[in-house]
Amino acid sequence: TKPIPCSFKNNSTATFHYVPIIQVLTNVLQVEDVGEEIIREAPNMPPQPEILTGFRDGSLYREKLSGLISNSSLDTIFLLLYTDEVEICNPLGAKRGTHKLCLVYFSILNLHPRHRSQLRQIHLVLIAKYADLQRLGASEILLPLLCDLTLLKEGLTLEIQGESVCLQVLVVA
């Protein structure tokens, strides 16, 4: 999936790049093993409150998220969003921070931890200069991502293994 260059409304020189999360999810879910693993129900294991094996064992899921998905007829994909700041080169002294970037990634929590921890399952969504982010704010940079996440919450219909599947996507953190 190719990134889309975006510009800030109030500054024509500053730009950031957005990789459409809907297209990335569509591509990821077309991979045979990944699509099946996400659609397949988690095995019914007896609950052990003292052992945390995944995000579904946490109190946030039990108290808040399980109510959202139990009222829905759609299969649900849970995403984890996170940011990172990287320095493109390694300058010293006064030039430090000149080439600093802010990156936003996501991973799919429905995957088994053995797959979720692989680098190929961590997907880049946004990239922007850190100086532009500080100067112009995060709200405009995050707008394309938030619009796509709103659409995904309503549902996404995909063809997986020749079968039409309707999914909703929720962001956990």
What is the pLDDT tens value at each position of the chain, 173 positions in all? 898 988 877 766 888 999 999 999 888 888 777 777 776 655 545 566 677 777 777 777 777 766 666 555 567 888 999 999 998 877 676 667 678 999 999 999 888 777 778 888 899 999 999 988 888 888 888 999 999 999 888 888 877 767 788 888 888 87
Residue 46 forms part of a structural domain: no
Phi, psi of 61, rounded to the nearest 5 degrees:
-65, -50
Instruction: Please say whether the beta carbons of 26 and 158 come within 8 A.
Output: yes
Residue 77 forms part of a structural domain: yes
Residue 137 forms part of a structural domain: yes
Residue 102 forms part of a structural domain: yes
Instruction: Please say whether the beta carbons of 61 and 55 come within 8 A.
Output: yes
Which pTM was predicted? Answer: 0.80
Residue 148 forms part of a structural domain: yes
Residue 47 forms part of a structural domain: no
Q: Which tokens go with 60?
A: 């946030």
Q: Which domain holds residue 77?
A: 4-41+52-171
Chain centroid to Cα 55, Å, comes to 15
Residue 35 forms part of a structural domain: yes
User: What domain count does the chain have?
Assistant: 1
